[in-house]
Amino acid sequence: MLSLQAVLIISSLVGWCGTVPRLPHLPPKPDPDPWPWWKTGLVGIVGGIAGGLLTQALSNTQEIAGIGFGALAGGRILSDFASGFFPGKG
């Protein structure tokens, strides 16, 4: 059985991985970047934790793969939502 701390750590790591990677842009972004990469990463972590906990609660599972899938989906959805609705997303 996974502890709550293990679920939070796994979900936050997988949520960070669910964020969209930064690719080189043409033309280059202005300095300072109006939407720094770490903001999207933090939003992805929050979404990953929410997705992992929600998956664990709804499916009553203790499997890492199931929790990881929910965390990846939550991180990706929330980071896409945030980067699409905040001004200066780049």
| pLDDT 10s digits, 9-58 | 888 888 877 565 556 666 666 666 666 667 778 888 899 999 999 998 89
The verdict on residue 46 lying in a domain is yes
The verdict on residue 25 lying in a domain is no
Residue 39 is predicted with a pLDDT of 78
Mean pLDDT of the region 57-76: 87
- Range(s) of the domain holding residue 55: 4-19+36-85
pLDDT band at 90 (very low <50, low <70, confident <90, very high): very low
User: 63 vs 22, which has greater pLDDT?
Assistant: 63
Residue 40 is predicted with a pLDDT of 78
Query: How many independent structural domains does the chain possess?
Result: 1
- CB 4, CB 60: distance < 8 Å: no
Q: What is the sign, positive or negative, of the torsion defined by CA atoms of 55, 56, 61, 62? A: positive
Q: Is the pLDDT of residue 87 over 90?
A: no
The verdict on residue 28 lying in a domain is no
Total residue count of the chain as it appears in this document: 90
Residue 34 is predicted with a pLDDT of 63
